[in-house]
Structure 1
Amino acid sequence: MDDRLRYAPCGYVSITHEGIIKDVNHTFLDRMGYKQVDLVHKHFESIMSTANKLIFHSYFYPFINLNGQVEELFINLKDSEGKAVPYLLNGRRLECEGVEIIDCILVQMGKRIDYELELRSAKKQIEVAYWEKDQALAELKRIHLEIEQKQAELMEMNAVLVELSNTDKLTGLKNRRFLQEKLEEQIVGYGRDQAAFSLCIIDIDHFKKVNDTYGHQTGDYVLEKMASILKLQSRKEDIAARYGGEEFVLLLPNTDISESKNIAENLRKSIAYSTWEMGQITVSIGVATFIPTDSEATLLQKADQALYTSKEQGRNRVTHSIDLNEKLL
């Protein structure tokens, strides 16, 4: 054996067909802690455990006999202290001077196994990290959904609070504050596109008498039913509100003088012809239509003056502020 093979970076063992070691290189002896005399002329299986002998018999010999070679047989060999050392064995059968021999190259697997273990450990750590990341993302998603739900609930609660702040508790109509906001919006809109709008103030006739005669519970019933009639008679764009006490206001967008009179008259008739528990209930209505010189205060004042005229002239009637001006003329 030349020095290059003797000190090759892998083990070399030459055996007979019967498995007797004929030669072994220095590299293998060093790594296994043997001397040449310990192995040469000994059976190769003498440094194998019973399990590895079975592997050797069931795999190595059949392949050598059938194919003349064996590639990457994983096998453990016992070192001088009896410890198992893992190797990858490549073998090839050949004839040398008429004698059949098998050359075996043995690549120690210790470092590779350690490396594979490190890789497996790293892979496991990565898998754990990804799992933890997925768990964290799932938790973040859950928290995000919970926050969105809480925000939606908060918005809903705020919407309810806003609605409550804009609604008259007894009648369910919009309250005076909401009406004033919408009236301001109408005035701003008028300044932009000159769209006519009108306003009705509705007052229940002799309401104090109802309360005094039948009690406040009946009075509340009248107010609630009055609100129901207003809702039924109102158009989609109209705003019906309780202005205070027995007074209601109906804001009529896109409604001129003639239209506002008709709407108010139809409302008056609906109320007068409705069935009430304590007899007939009627209303007096004052109507005003916005003109360029008006403000919120003057519009309400004109409607209130028209309402006063309706009451003064016998109640259960509609008066438009334009009619007051004509009478003055």
Structure 2
Amino acid sequence: MDAQLDLAPCGYFSISDSGVIQSVNQTLLTMLGYERSELMGRHIESTMSVTNKLFFHTYFYPYIQLYGRVDEMYFTFRTSDQQDVPVLLNGIRQTRDGESVVDCVVVVMRKRIEHEKDILNTKTKLQELYQATHEANKELERLHEEYEVKQQALIKVNDQLETMASTDLLTGLKNRRFFQLKMLESLEGFRTTRREFSLLVVDIDHFKSINDTYGHPVGDIVLGNLAGLLQSVSRSSDVVARYGGEEFVIILTDCTAEQALVTAERYRSQVASADWGAYNITVSIGAATVAEEDTDQSLFQKADMALYASKTGGRNRVTHAAGLIQS
């Protein structure tokens, strides 16, 4: 971490999706009274009271999963000597080095009377419960059990939100974001284990005319039906995703250039021979197989160039990028 960020006039920390602290600047360490070695690798919730852990679970995680960011969240951290520090918390979820991280910035709040009252009332209620008689302790145990149930329900909701974040709502396939992550994973696997893979870019021929002639609702039905067909033809290890518009992408695991051509031709012929009712649906496909020098962008560009060759070559056909290089 450079000196400017380390000594910035606001606290900064970065956590994994599971909440483990990966980096923290000196400003936040000073704010909370910790040494760097005391926080690195620990869960961010270790700096929170029981009440604020629940608050963090209820608002921060669901918002970051659903929207990818949290803006101006009023929150309270706990210092090493158990003092509350109310802050304004901003967070954003992003990908670095192929892994999902959450970067957060905190600023100590000055106008916080109402917030402190709320925290104080909650703290007082908890203290009353812990200091009550045997019956009150029974009630507290019940509340803890209820909290565990709600926490499990929240985990389930978070899983559902994660699924929504990686799914194309129209077709039910994986979305572009998920595809890009899998491309990076596949490239990393190729470099470490030499597992070859190929990429197909599939585009519906003359799709605009379908929308113009029959309307977008019919176009959406065609997209959904094609998605189902592509998924049914694919192996469980393959990644089938909607890239955008009428364009689909398929990552073929353990697939050479020759196998990619055979597989792409199977997709093409299945679409051409399927019963589309009143519509004549065909697809053009561009294929590319990973090479040593490839990045995710260069591999996609090769497949996209091959798709363009299929389009300009008459549509309803398959082209592999290797054939373009050789010709």
> Which amino acid in the other structure matches residue 254 of structure 1?
D
Which amino acid in the other structure matches residue 302 of structure 1? Answer: K
Cα deviation digits, residues 187-238 of structure 1 (max 9, x gap): 1111111100111000000000111111111111110101110110111111
Q: CA RMSD in A?
A: 1.6
**What is the CA-CA distance between 1:310 and the residue it aligns to?**
0.7
Matched residues in 1 for 2:314 and 2:211: separation? 21
- The equivalent of 2:154 in structure 1 is 154
Per-residue deviation, 1:135: 5.2
Tell me the TM-score normalized by structure 1.
0.57
1:318 aligns with 2:318: yes
Percent identity over the alignment is: 47
Aligned to 1:213: 213
What SS does the aligned partner of 2:150 have? helix
Please give the secondary structure, in 1, of the residue aligned with 2:174: coil
The 3-state SS of whatever aligns with 2:156 is helix
Q: Secondary structure at the match of 1:302?
A: helix
Question: Are 1:143 and 2:143 matched, yes or no?
Answer: yes
- Give the superposition deviation at 1:262: 1.4
Structure 1 residues 134 and 266, CA, compared in 2 at 3 Å: closer, same or farther? farther
Q: Deviations 1:139-180 (Å, cap 9, x if unpaired)?
A: 444333322211111111111111111111111111111100
Do residues 223 (structure 1) and 229 (structure 2) align?
no
Aligned to 1:195: 195
- Separation in 1 of the partners of 2:135 and 2:182? 51
Aligned-partner SS, 2:271:
helix
CA distance in 1, matches of 2:297, 2:144: 49
Consecutive unaligned residues in structure 1, runs of 5 or more = 1-131
Structure 2 CA distance, aligned partners of 1:188 and 1:138?
Answer: 53
**Which one-letter code corresponds to 1:237 in the other structure?**
S
Letter in 2 for 1:268: R
How do residues 155-304 of structure 1 correspond to structure 2 at under 5 angstroms? 155-304=155-304
Secondary structure of residue in 1 paired with 2:183: helix
Shift of 1:265: 0.8
State the one-letter code of the partner of 2:270.
S
Query: How far apart, CA to CA, are the structure 2 residues paired with 1:136 and 1:191?
Result: 60
Displacement after TM superposition at 1:137 (Å): 6.2
1:153 corresponds to which letter in structure 2? Answer: A
* Gap regions ≥5 residues in structure 2: 1-131
Query: Number of residue pairs matched?
Result: 196
Query: TM-score, structure 2 length as denominator?
Result: 0.57
CA distance in 2, matches of 1:145, 1:230: 46
* Bigger CA radius of gyration: 1
* Partner secondary structure for residue 242 of structure 1: strand
